Amino acid sequence: MDKIAVLIPCYNEEKTIEKVVKDFRAVIEKYGDDGDCRVYVYDNNSTDKTAFLARAAGAVVRHEYKQGKGNVVRRMFREIDARCYVIADGDDTYPAESAKAMIDAVLERQADMVVGDRLSSTYFGENKRPFHNFGNVLVRKSINFLFKSDIKDIMTGYRAFSYQFVKSFPVLSNGFEIETEMSIHAIDKNMNIINTVVDYKDRPEGSVSKLNTYSDGFKVLCTIWKLFRHIRPLRFFGTLAIILGLISIGFFVPILVEFIKTGLVRRFPTLIICGFTMIAAIQSFFAGLILENIKDNNREYFELELIRLNEFYSRNSKEE
């Protein structure tokens, strides 16, 4: 088991990857020798010299052939065992020096996820893509509102993790939704989350972002919606039940008033629809109750799995 593993997912980053690898190696060598601390570059079907330059700079280079950042993260988390993981992009937008504070938070303060917060520092000044800025704020506010959290930067690609987080995190996303999924997983499982402000600089000239503002942004919003339904089923289906119930009552009241005054029901189709809408509201409410109980059971199994992971982690740490 490594003491520190720096994980860098890469796709066509030959302009910056050599510098990124050297910068992170200079930081983590203070924590141990090459047998304890390593930089791993996972090449995701690059068509340039990314893999060659990363290896020449001293990184351990591996490959993931299924395209997409989520697929790369899944491969990295499965293959690497470490006491502390640092994940960063290969585009040289994050300062390697900030990794020290993030690593210390995991190793000394028992953080499960440390978020490299760009939005509280230089991000809005450096990033020249206005829709990216708007999207980051929208995603952050949506998640913090829906899940009652206080994560400062949801979409950052600069994070540090504990062994327990990495080995208990089921990666479901294929692409750039992975950061959203990580954040919501940590919130839902009541993990120790620490925000650390980091400087951000925009990509150097000639380096191109792989994130599509519109299509990937839409996928992120869909992921938030899907995970909210999965993680907060009672709130999701309860809200739906309230909306349907109010619609049913709203259309039923005029019919009832007319019946009291005249003794007649002239709008039978509306009355029938009101009845079916109220039935749908009741079904939605009880569906939320059932799914909430299932979620609570899954939470118990997850806590038991964490106990087993901690036992394995402790045993391996003592052997080392």
Q: Profile the chain (320 residues) by mean pLDDT over runs of 10 residues.
A: 93 93 92 79 94 95 94 95 95 93 95 94 70 80 91 93 95 89 94 94 70 75 89 94 96 93 89 95 96 92 88 72
| pLDDT tens sequence across 39-78 | 999 999 999 999 999 999 999 999 999 999 999 999 999 9
pLDDT value at residue 136: 81
pLDDT value at residue 133: 75
pLDDT value at residue 209: 66
Tokens at 156, concatenated: 């950052």
The DSSP code sequence of the chain is: -EEEEEEEEESS-TTTHHHHHHHHHHHHGGG--TTTEEEEEEE-S-SSSHHHHHHHTTPEEEE--S-SHHHHHHHHHHH--EEEEEE--SSS-S-GGGHHHHHHHHHHH--SEEEEE-TTTTHHHH---HHHHHHHHHHHHHHHHHHT---S-SS-S-EEEEHHHHHH-----SSTTHHHHHHHHHHHTT--EEEEE----PPPTT------TTHHHHHHHHHHHHHHHHHSHHHHHHHHHHHHHHHHHHHHHHHHHHHHHHS----HHHHHHHHHHHHHHHHHHHHHHHHHHHHHHHHHHHHHHHHHHHHHHHHHHHH-
Report d(CA 320, CA 308) in Å as an integer: 19
pLDDT value at residue 128: 61
pLDDT value at residue 135: 79
